[in-house]
Structure 1
Amino acid sequence: MDFLKHLKDPIGRTRSAVRAADYLETTLKLLKRKLHLSGEQRFNVTDLLSRRQKEMISKGTGCDYQTRSIKCPERDFYRTITGECNNSLIPVTRVFRHGIKGCEMLVRKVSNEIAHTANENITADQQLSLVFMHWGQWVNHDIDLAPASGEGASLELQCHTSCAFKPPCFPIKFPADDSRMLSPDTCMPFVQSASVCSPGTFQREQLNAATSFVDASTVYGSDDALARSLRNLTSQLGLMAVNQDFLDAGLELLPFENMTHSICDKRVTENLGLSAMHTLFVREHNRLATQLRKLNPHWDGEKLYQESRKIVIAINQIITYRDYLPLLLAEETSKWIPLYSGYNEKVDPRASNVFSLAFRFGHTSVQPFVSRLNESFQPLGSSSHVPLHLTFCAPWRIVMEGGIDPLIRGMVVDHAKLMKQNQLLIEELQNHLFEQTEVMGLDLGAMNMQRGRDHGLPGYNTWRGFCGLSQPQTIEELSEVLGNPKLAKKLMNVYGTPYNIDLWIGAVAEPVVSQGRVGPLLSCIIGTQFRNLRDGDRFWWENPGVFTPQQLQALRKISVSRVICDNTHIKKIPRDVFKINTYPKDFTDCQEIDVLDLSSWKDKPESATKGTNGLRSVKNNTCTMKFFFYAYENERIKVSTLTLPPKDDDCPFSYTLLHWSLRCC
């Protein structure tokens, strides 16, 4: 549990937001105790507070600062690290608006009776590879992160020592017949997600510490201070920081974590496949920055960083929407994610609370072993077939056991696990999650359901209704929805009514849509979220003005295969690594895989401006001057005198700019 909490420890501004919310929660608890309201469970102490008192509490706890408004520039060319100033609906804190929902049914009992399957009793997906599974986790980590609440703020509060529900401890109790219950007072530790200040209401809401947008925050971070720490700022090359002690056969590795900052997404060390994905895209950024510097030697480090970042984000967006989602949603794709029609500022792109739980469907496609293969795609010695639980928090295996190439080869040829109603969660995840010693391993299925309750999410049937699907009332109707009377009987025996079924177990238990990998409910929740993430993103790669037509044409040729070819020593690769391929018959030489032609990123200061007009900005020291420019036949730009308004403290004077080259823009 310590490791899981470490993966989700808030940092930077998120840490400040979580602390302020913790102070607010503590204040309200003390007030309730002082006013002797403990017996009135449904009474909201804030109902007794005046507006002035609420404002005083908000300022005293720091919530007032956390909910301040942000002043955004009138025009910007690159998206912010934090996701702010993209869509007008994005506040400083991106919250999930739900309260805690209680349920007496033990999630561990549900996991034991419905989710669990032995490591040996699984069915391989005959169409999709482990790269497909890992991409799902990769993009999920880009979209949402619910940081852990502040366990340890009080020395006497340790969530692994008690079965009592004392926030932030929300322990998972064992059923009486559970073989893992060592004693009657043994529970599986569980820490609530951190809350966030909610202006006006003072209701408990969870925080999303990621930006929501598909913007490669897994590579660059979602906090300005962290983003800077991940860069190599020792030169003007626009590079990401890399390991200074070890190389992967001459190629870069991620830097080691230190006590104050973490490499990329803190969850990078969660498993080896995820670590390999992080390494690939940090290398891709540095490869792009190096190539762009050759094309444009006059670009400074910030320009190289931002342009490379912009391309990496586009790569992630394209692969997710063009390649990944159609395999996941199949015939439901066009229903929930129609063709792109442009940016819509009225679309809310924030990650919904329910999506953060629904996208955990991918846990059901995880294999119990990690394969590592040599250049001939044969087992890499005695350590080629490692139990999954021995690869958690084990980045040393990458450094000491052959780098990321063997891992990627294994991901490419290994099958994903098929999600079947009687084979939902492997033993490695159901009993041995993050188990590194003889101390109790965690149960990912039970934790998913407990997380839904922690976040106050309504049950399975409520979400069926939200999506316009039928809401089964009886065992017969549930049998029809699931297409499985035996499973329906199990669920009804455990829950009593379909309305009590936890969202996660109900959603993953549904039969998948034709050719897809999720059922109708998950198709609705996931499809709706990804459409909002795209349509509400002002910097979406297809939005006019983000890239030039020539750049768009070049970007459409990218693929995961090309990223692998460009950033590993692997020489042969399938064209579509999301699908199952057999070595060597389905493999292609890397020289045959389309490359990303960067020639359209080369500056063309004269011809590029012909016949255009628009708004541009140029920085002179700290002064930003905005002006209209006009292209003339001589392909030089004539700019009229610009007098900046007196209110601009940085620029209380005028400039005359004549024949200003676009290169300066």
Structure 2
Amino acid sequence: MADNVTKSGLMEKCKPCKVGIKCVPQIQCPAHVRMGQHEKPQVCDLPAGKFGFCCETGQNHTAHESKERRSAFPAILPPDVLEEARKNFEQLMHGVAHLQIPVQRGHPDFIHGIVFHSTPKEDLHNFALSNNALEQVITTQVFGQKEQVPLDDFITNNVQVKFSKTPLAHHCQAPPICRGRQNLRSLDGTCNNPLAQRSHWGAAGQSMERLLPPAYEDGIWTPRAKAKDGSPLTSAREISRILFEDVHRPHHKCNQLIMQFGQLLAHDVSQSSSVRLDENGGLVQCCSTGGQSILPRDKQHFACLPIPVAENDEFYGAFGVRCLNLVRLSLVPSADCQLSYGKQRSKVTHFLDASPVYGSNEEAARDLRTFHGGRLRMFNDFGRDLLPLTSDKSACGSDEPGKSCFKSGDGRTNQIISLITLQIVFAREHNRICDVLAKLNPTATDEWLYQEARRIVIAELQHITYNEYLPAVIGPKQVKRFRLTPQHQGYSTDYSVDVNPAITNEFSGAAFRMGHSSVDGKFRIRDEIINIPDVMFNPSRMRKREFFDDMLQTLFAQPMQQIDSSITQGLSRFLFRGDSPFGLDLAAINIQRGRDQGLRCYNDYLEVMGAPKLRNFDQFPKEVGEKLSRVYHSTDDIDLWVGGLLEQAIEDGIVGITFSEIIADQFARFKHGDRFYYEYDKKINPSAFQPAQLQELRKASIARLICDNADHLTLHTVPTAGFVRADFPGNQLVHCDDPRLPSVDLNAWRM
């Protein structure tokens, strides 16, 4: 490091990076973990007194290999590989339909299936896509065995063998053609990157990216199942019940609104899809009736990854449950049409584009529009606008007469009633903006009003996220280090065509699941206490006249739980319980899902951040270390989601350092890889806001958004800092017409 450092007075400073090379946090240059000490990038200075790297390899998890090494493999797939792979695929699929075990309505497994809810048309498409990807993965496995390909070559994308000129070539997806479609943000996320070969980046249905290579056992798709010493990893349920107790630890500053806003963001950028039994979306069952046992291997679907439950489990043991159902996430075919490890997909766009409000495809978007005045369809419930009711009986998992179930741009809207509350806020905001714009511009068309209101709502969502939400979650210093701070004036120049905005497996499968620890098991609404399991896929209370306002006030006032080793039993025992006396365990699901996705161990992510790996359990607090040693053989076995939750929150943030870095990296991708991000000018964004419009958008806040869209039946005041508890010192409750809550003046949009 000495060669890179110069002295300036009492301060030591690193030499600046070469022209054209940016200084980034080490996690944004992940190839460094695979480099020798002499190959490491030059150290450089970052804001907030931190070191970074002058990164020349970008956000790829490995540097490009030499052409000589790539040529070691056949240029064309041998016929015997293709034939063996075809037979293996057919054998895998043969008889799958006969493995059907009915999943009863009202059962936790059935309700869990609604989380991946799709239309019949989408089910058919997803099933075909998943099978195409699976056939490619099986071919990769056969090729690897026959050619004795080192595991490292697969996980670093070094096997440059194409499916071209084979029967599998038709599975490859060509980038969309974007001529004439690049001036507005598309609904499905296509055509965001101006380079033709990258026009699919961030689009709905595309694969997740990775910070580090996958930890699949075979490097291709076999789940992470073995400890460092070769023994089986401890059951995810066993880890959950020993490590994650239900302890009431209210956060001293942050409220439930930050938890709920986080879930809305998660749904905006990510929706995975589990493997299904058939093209009709049939659910795969890996446990016998009532979860009494794991099905024998010869009766299991190939995508089964059930969670074993110990006989002496203090909760599930009372019900004779020995198996929690879990099905592997479906895959997406290789985007570059070459042999590759399995890549999970997101069915929604990877951008912060309010897709829960508008949908992630043209068909869904059209179904939500009135085509009059630019407005979205709403349900007028005795003078109050709620989300439209859906006729899809499977959307809430119940066909009970009189049960209300709502519709939005996202199939998970009814998952919990507090989520519906925020969905209503944003849908109302769209229509409110349309009405104001229509008065300002009487000759405006329905299409212009819809698109302009959509642009404004997306900009408000992005500004609130980067200006209020992220500083509270990862702390102001991290926001500064990762260049995420909104401008005070003028335009940002941070866009790069080389940044892929796609979500990472680490973000989706671990770091952004931190919010599950922040959930309180109960909503305290006036004199009523509502248990969370009672309002999952059961949103009828929203029809009560004052409930919407009351729910908003609860989100403002009720503290979120600290993000730590505590999970409410509403999620760890009664998740999606429906009509059953027990539910699923979300903590166990998170751990098992990370293994399904091949997430590496916690220690590996310490290394990519530039931190030393943990060598023994004594490096944790005594009680935590003792519990960890009961469920893990080595610190190198700790699952990422587990290790991240056990860290102490960083300064002025709510998550530990590892999750803060993964989250910061992800939101940097969303900003730096989104050409239509609200702060970019016309040189980058062809539909950029005018300077005066952009200055108005910088007034947007979560408190103002709620004030503008509440019913004002019981809600008349809000805290000025919307993500801070209403009773926190200095966070004043003010009336909605108070000048301390500035409004976005839409007069800037007068044509």
C-alpha deviation, 1:152, in angstroms: 5.2
1:73 aligns with 2:179: yes
Q: What does 1:169-568 correspond to in 2, within 5 Å?
A: 169-179=304-314, 180-181=316-317, 186-198=322-334, 199-201=337-339, 203-233=341-371, 235=372, 237-243=373-379, 246-247=380-381, 250-259=383-392, 262-330=407-475, 331-339=477-485, 340-357=492-509, 358-373=511-526, 379=527, 384-400=528-544, 402-421=546-565, 424-476=566-618, 478-479=619-620, 484-545=621-682, 546-568=688-710
SS of residue paired to 2:533: helix
Task: Tell whether 2:144 aligns with 1:20.
Answer: no
CA contact (8 A) 1:143 1:211 kept: yes
Q: Helix, strand or coil: the match of 2:207?
A: strand
Identity across the alignment (%): 28
1:72 to 1:111, Cα distance in 2 relative to 1, 3 A: same
Pick closer, same or farther for the CA change 1:335–1:283 going to 2, 3 Å. Answer: same
Contact 1:256 1:263 in 2 (8 A): no
Residues 283 and 184 of structure 1: is their aligned pair in 2 closer, same or farther, counting only changes over 3 Å? closer
Between the aligned partners of 1:297 and 1:71, the Cα distance in structure 2 is 35
Distance 2:433 2:312 in 1: 56
What TM-score results when the alignment is normalised by the length of structure 2?
Answer: 0.71
Q: Matches of 2:446 and 2:605 in 1, distance apart? A: 48
Partner of 2:267: 141
Between the aligned partners of 2:457 and 2:700, the Cα distance in structure 1 is 10
Secondary structure at 1:408's aligned position in 2?
helix
Relative to structure 2, which stretch is displaced further, 258-267 or 286-295?
A: 258-267
Q: Distance in 2 between matches of 1:356 and 1:156?
A: 22
Structure 1 residues 27 and 586: alpha-carbon distance in aligned structure 2, compared to 1, 3 A threshold: closer
Name the CA shift for 1:156/1:111 in 2 (closer, same or farther; >3 Å). Answer: closer
Q: Could you tell me how far apart the structure 1 residues matched to 2:114 and 2:695 are?
A: 42
Task: Verify: 1:126 aligned to 2:272, yes or no.
Answer: no
Structure 1 residue 598, shift from structure 2 partner: 0.4
- SS of equivalent to 2:737: helix
User: Which has the higher mean CA deviation after the structures are superposed, 499-508 or 190-199?
Assistant: 190-199
2-structure distance, mates of 1:473, 1:318: 41
Given that 2:257 and 2:555 are in contact with CA atoms closer than 8 Å, whether structure 1 keeps it comes out as yes
Q: Distance in 2 between matches of 1:304 and 1:95?
A: 33
Secondary structure of 2:614's aligned partner: coil
- Alignment partner of 2:317: what SS? coil
Contact 1:125 1:416 in 2 (8 A): yes
1:57 equivalent in alignment to 2:168: yes
**Matched residues in 2 for 1:338 and 1:286: separation?**
29
Q: Point out where structure 2 has 5 or more consecutive residues left out of the alignment.
A: 1-108, 155-160, 215-220, 227-232, 396-406, 486-491, 683-687
1:158 counterpart residue number: 285
The question of whether the paired residues in 2 share the 8 Å contact of 1:337 and 1:528 is answered with no
CA distance in 1, matches of 2:138, 2:507: 33
CA shift at 1:183, angstroms? Answer: 7.7
Q: Which moved more, 1:191-200 or 1:455-464?
A: 191-200
Picking from 590, 600, 623, the partner of 2:736 is 590
State the Cα distance separating 1:410 from its structure 2 match.
Answer: 0.9
In structure 1, the partner of 2:26 is none
- 1:106 corresponds to which residue? 235
* Alpha-carbon separation, structure 2, partners of 1:182 and 1:322: 48
Number of residue pairs the alignment of both structures matches? 570
Structure 1 residues 437 and 183: CA distance shift in structure 2, 3 A: closer
Q: Show the counterpart of 2:95.
A: none
Residue 34 and residue 128 in structure 1: after superposition, are their counterparts in 2 closer, same or farther (change >3 A)?
Answer: closer
Q: Distance in 2 between the 1:52 and 1:494 partners?
A: 42
Q: Distance in 2 between matches of 1:469 and 1:13?
A: 47
**Worse-matched range after superposition: 198-207 or 319-328:** 198-207
Question: Aligned to 1:544, what secondary structure does the other structure show?
Answer: coil
Q: Which position in structure 1 is the counterpart of 2:101?
A: none
Bigger drift between 429-438 and 20-29 goes to 20-29
Output the amino acid matched with 1:417: Q
- Of 386-395 and 583-592, more deviation after overlay is shown by 583-592
Residues of 1 paired with 2:174 and 2:643: CA distance? 39
Give me the whole-angstrom Cα distance separating, in 2, the residues matched to 1:256 and 1:461: 47
The answer (yes or no) to whether the contact 1:151–1:168 under 8 Å persists in 2 is no
SS at match of 1:283: helix
SS in 1 for 2:536: coil
Gaps of 5+ in 1: 45-49, 374-378, 604-665
Query: What amino acid sits opposite 1:335 in the alignment?
Result: R
Give the direction of change, closer, same or farther, for the CA distance of 1:301–1:522 in structure 2 (3 Å limit): same
Q: Deviations over 1:444-495 (max 9, x none)?
A: 100001111111111111111122222112223x32xxxx122122212311
Contact 1:293 1:299 in 2 (8 A): yes
Cα offset, 1:364, TM superposition: 0.6
For normalisation by structure 1, the TM-score amounts to: 0.79
**1:21 Cα deviation (Å)?**
3.1
Q: Distance in 2 between matches of 1:510 and 1:542?
A: 34
Q: What SS does structure 2 have at the residue aligned with 1:241?
A: coil
Give the deviation of 1:401 after TM superposition: 6.2
